[in-house]
Structure 1
């Protein structure tokens, strides 16, 4: 199960406090009216050009309200995905802590470590952050602990590629990096559209059935960004009758008979496990040798590189169409 934690926001199973009157950057207050929720076009007052006007009021994905008096200067990230977004926005110098699993970009490896995806309270306190970014996968106990310590935790949980792009724009507004955020999203949209265009001639009966296994015995159903990716890549998720991250029924996968099987290639012996299951040698994907390993980080992190993962997935399903 350790590998499940390593898959970033995977396992939603990818720190706010009631602090009225607190003057610290990013402090949670009780504004008269919430201007927006995460993912919306949020404004507090007016915005001039690509600069955020503060105070800026927003909700995170947990429903907590924040009012930012100015752009946070000291940032802790408890998720590899959030860390990738922050570095892409050019905020590496402001990052004072990351999770133990953060490994991209290279500079992230040298940042002070704040524990696993649930965070280490003592390390976070020592880093004195203005804001802590994390996914909704943070457990209740960790959230409560960080709340008690009056740390500002901002949680996000994108479920689609479009929502992943919206998160980048949101971070750009919070951190006064709107122009950088828009450039990143513009490139992501181009990469997504290139895949959509390549597959636009596919008829429903031509679409291939896809199974994905990111950790031994675990797959993903509806309501998560990997299911969205499979659909955008022109595939039919054979686990689409499930919701969220689920353990598989080996017999059911045989019955579904996927044309393509994807797996997280860095998981030790996962391909061997898949190919060696009883009866799976009859599955079309295995018979046609369409068992394809994908980069774990690209596959599991709905950040700036997720559209590159989409391209790899679409090419794996339809190599004759996606070049």
Structure 2
């Protein structure tokens, strides 16, 4: 297999042409890891980064996607490396070592996520399986959306305890948008703005979605104990919902799980 660099972005569909089926894949992206196993390439994966915690049988290592070590990565003798970011000269270093690289940045839409899944499947010799995964996702997402009446409710999606959130234009926001939900942070000028307690209380969202329960121990009870938050509709009406923070931050096959979780919260 010759050296290959493939990069994808929201404005174009990433494609790959790999002459041989890779048999020694290193994944430096939790989303890529989930995708590899979903499309049937799990037995070709020899190492995944320290943040790749799903599926549980993935060969997790201490490889870091944030401070990648070329020596450590090359030590696994990969014939394909998949990453979401080109950090510290990662791509150039792997190119110099004649190691193919598939660079897939964070998806900006659900269609972008579908494209990336198909790209991983094609690059690993699992074209049909990739098509099947995407078809199943589309069906599950359509079914989940169809079970809930459209709403014009508002929400605050809490990313961490410093009150960073998402707008309707963000990837997660687009998932909420499938149901008609609108972020109270819209118009802030950033897809991932930071809000204040006063701003959130004043906006009075109908729902509060917590994506910081696993990392930070935030619960509906602890939210209601925050000064002033008990007056908000979401707290008063019992619509503070704990979400799986991994589902909320990854754009792989489990996007369908996230959509179904939102549907469950709205029923």
TM range (shorter): 0.7 to 0.9
> Residues 207 and 170 from structure 1, CA distance in 2 versus in 1: closer, same or farther, beyond 3 angstroms?
same
Q: Report the CA distance between 1:102 and its aligned residue.
A: 1.2
Match of 2:42 in 1: 92
Match of 1:227 in 2: 173
Q: Report the CA distance between 1:152 and its aligned residue.
A: 3.3
What is the distance in 1 between the residues matched to 2:126 and 2:61?
Answer: 23
Q: Is the 8 A contact 1:78 1:118 kept in 2?
A: no
TM-score, normalising length from structure 1? 0.72
1:147-158 correspondence runs (5 A): 151-156=99-104, 157-158=106-107
1:1-323 correspondence runs (5 A): 25-28=1-4, 59-61=7-9, 67-108=17-58, 110-136=59-85, 138-140=86-88, 142=90, 146=94, 151-156=99-104, 157-199=106-148, 201-202=149-150, 206-216=151-161, 217-242=163-188, 243-264=190-211, 265-271=213-219, 274-316=223-265, 318-319=266-267
Q: Report the more deviating stretch, 167-176 or 216-225.
A: 216-225
> Residues 83 and 67 from structure 1, CA distance in 2 versus in 1: closer, same or farther, beyond 3 angstroms?
same
> Residues 190 and 26 from structure 1, CA distance in 2 versus in 1: closer, same or farther, beyond 3 angstroms?
farther
What is the distance in 1 between the residues matched to 2:133 and 2:254?
Answer: 10
Q: Report the CA distance between 1:158 and its aligned residue.
A: 1.1
Residue-pair matches, total = 260
Q: Report the more deviating stretch, 180-189 or 62-71.
A: 62-71
TM-score, normalising length from structure 2? 0.86
Superposition CA RMSD, Å: 2.6
Q: Is the 8 A contact 2:201 2:232 kept in 1?
A: yes
Deviations 1:214-234 (A, max 9, x none): 221221124421011110133
What is the distance in 1 between the residues matched to 2:121 and 2:90?
Answer: 26
| Runs of 4 or more above 6 Å deviation | 62-66
Q: Is the 8 A contact 2:4 2:95 kept in 1?
A: no
> Residues 104 and 66 from structure 1, CA distance in 2 versus in 1: closer, same or farther, beyond 3 angstroms?
closer
What is the distance in 2 between the residues matched to 1:82 and 1:130?
Answer: 16
Structure 1 gap segments, 5+ residues each: 1-24, 30-57
> Residues 134 and 115 from structure 1, CA distance in 2 versus in 1: closer, same or farther, beyond 3 angstroms?
same
